Structure 1
Amino acid sequence: MAFQPIYDAVAGRVWGYEALVRGVAGEGAYEVLRRVSPEQKYRFDQDCRVKAIELAARLFPAGENLMLSINFMPNAVYEPAACLRATLLAAAKADFPLSSIMFEFTENEEVTDTAHLTNIITEYRKHGFITAIDDFGAGHAGLGLLVDFQPDLIKIDMKLIRGIDGSPARQAVVAGIVAIAGYLNITVLAEGIETEAEYRVLQAAGVRLLQGYWFAKPAFEQLPEIHVPVATAGGVQGLAVFPR
């Protein structure tokens, strides 16, 4: 697993870290996941959760109240309560608080049974987990998922973020997402931020949580140095290294 920080622009601090699957030679998540057969999905999903929790418990500084974001595959969850046993055991063994874990599922994995997905989210919330939709706006569902259920957080896909400072259309779409999320009491996170200009537009749009290479690239089994924006009277001016 590699870890990438999520920055809270309002609090001016790191909100948490996303745990990202990596191959032993540094391969990205897509390359790893395409090698996982349908028969292996459940075991792979379980092992990733346990590994992420174990590493986070070791790497996260004590007393920082950081969130751990873990990706999961809804189609690999056959029965929510049963599939959580390994997760709960790993958290208990590592003394990692359940309220500090966020499970995010990607729109890019087609979910054909929304009732099953709703059951998963309901079960996760019983244990205090935060839930999130990843890649929002670029997958199989989008706004339709918000009609069926409301997660705690949505992550706007990087395709809507890239070059947003020069795209009125992207700005309008993101503004709409922020407005809908606010009405439904859902937190918005923008991912894939690579430039100061993108950051400034998103901050002005009311997006509180942000993630991307502009802050830090994922670091393999460690927490990377984080560069955070330095605010001045004229706006953002450069970056400063954030302590781990």
Structure 2
Amino acid sequence: MAFQPIVDANTASVWGYEALIRGTAGEGAGAIMGRVQPEQRYKFDQACRVKAIDLAARLFPLSDGRTPRLSINFLPNAVYEPAACLRATLAAARKSQFPREAIMFEFTENESVRDTDHLRSIISEYRRQGFTTAIDDFGAGYAGLSLLADFQPDLIKLDMELIRDIDTNKARQAIIAGVMQIAGALDITVLAEGIESEAEFRVLRDAGVGLFQGYWFAKPGFETLPALSNAGSQALRPAA
């Protein structure tokens, strides 16, 4: 696993870290997932969760009562029964003494979610167990308004393609303004991922986005918590 910081512009602090799959030779998530056969998806999903929690328990500061959130991706179509599928997750958290309220699950699919009732039951069970839920890649593929109409997670992550060059694109700015209005009405937190420039950060910050993730702040660190870039750290400091 590699970890990439998620920063909170409102508190000028690291809000959490996303756990990202990496191969032993540094291969990205796409290359790894391409080798996972359909019948292995559930087992792979479970193994990734346990590995992420185990590493986070060793790397995250746990003693000050303000544990950063650990964001874990999961495959909805690989979860056969929500409560049963959480057993390994809960066991790993107990064993590592990692607080479950600090765990966030992001769900995304390159294919449409086949059973919306099933996904609704997953979100309901995860919330009942104290986890935060999020829609990843919002604005791309199947992760759009129709999905949001059926499921209201705690958080949505704006897809990087939607925010790329937003500082010079009026259409993207208008779309984000609309998403922010909808999210506010539904009491959903918005996170912008894939930030690559200060200009993108400033426009989204002015639009009301509070959480950010991207190379401009920090690249993922392999089994380590990377420090924020100088530019990212400076941008989070309150104006004099």
Q: Tell me the residue number matched to 1:205.
A: 207
1:80 to 82, 90, 95: 82
2:159 to 148, 157, 162: 157
Q: Which amino acid aligns with 1:188?
A: V
176-185 or 140-149, larger mean C-alpha shift = 140-149
Deviations 1:140-185 (A, max 9, x none): 1411111112000000000011100010011111111111000000
Structure 2 Cα separation of the partners of residues 139 and 111 of structure 1:
11
Q: Which amino acid aligns with 1:160?
A: L
Query: Post-superposition, which runs of at least 4 consecutive aligned residues in structure 1 deviate over 6 A?
Result: none
Shift of 1:119: 0.4
Shift of 1:65: 2.1
Shift of 1:139: 1.6
Q: Which amino acid aligns with 1:163?
A: D
Shift of 1:106: 1.1
Q: Tell me the residue number matched to 1:15.
A: 15
Question: TM-score w.r.t. structure 1 length?
Answer: 0.93
Query: Are the equivalent residues in 2 in contact too, given 1:107–1:135 (CA < 8 A)?
Result: no
Structure 2 Cα separation of the partners of residues 147 and 92 of structure 1:
34
Q: Tell me the residue number matched to 1:135.
A: 137
Shift of 1:107: 4.3
**Is the counterpart of residue 166 in structure 1 residue 168 in structure 2?**
yes
SS class of match (2:16): strand
Query: Are the equivalent residues in 1 in contact too, given 2:137–2:143 (CA < 8 A)?
Result: no
SS class of match (2:106): strand
Q: Work out the percentage of aligned pairs sharing the same amino acid.
A: 69
Q: How does 1:204-223 map to 2 (within 5 A)?
A: 204-223=206-225
Q: Tell me the residue number matched to 1:6.
A: 6
Shift of 1:25: 0.6
Q: Which amino acid aligns with 2:77?
A: N
Deviations 1:126-151 (A, max 9, x none): 11000000000002141111111200
Question: TM-score w.r.t. structure 2 length?
Answer: 0.95
Structure 1 Cα separation of the partners of residues 111 and 154 of structure 2:
19
Structure 2 Cα separation of the partners of residues 65 and 185 of structure 1:
23
Q: Tell me the residue number matched to 2:35.
A: 35
Structure 2: gaps of 5 or more residues:
none
Structure 2 Cα separation of the partners of residues 98 and 232 of structure 1:
31
Query: Are the equivalent residues in 1 in contact too, given 2:23–2:32 (CA < 8 A)?
Result: yes
**Is the counterpart of residue 100 in structure 1 residue 102 in structure 2?**
yes
Q: Which amino acid aligns with 2:218?
A: A
Higher strand share: 1
Query: Are the equivalent residues in 2 in contact too, given 1:194–1:214 (CA < 8 A)?
Result: yes
Q: Tell me the residue number matched to 1:121.
A: 123
**How many residues get paired?**
234
Query: Are the equivalent residues in 1 in contact too, given 2:76–2:109 (CA < 8 A)?
Result: no
Structure 2 Cα separation of the partners of residues 132 and 229 of structure 1:
28
Query: Are the equivalent residues in 1 in contact too, given 2:135–2:156 (CA < 8 A)?
Result: yes
Shift of 1:187: 0.2
Shift of 1:117: 0.2
Structure 1 Cα separation of the partners of residues 123 and 238 of structure 2:
41
Structure 1 Cα separation of the partners of residues 93 and 125 of structure 2:
16
Q: Tell me the residue number matched to 1:224.
A: 226
223-232 or 159-168, larger mean C-alpha shift = 223-232
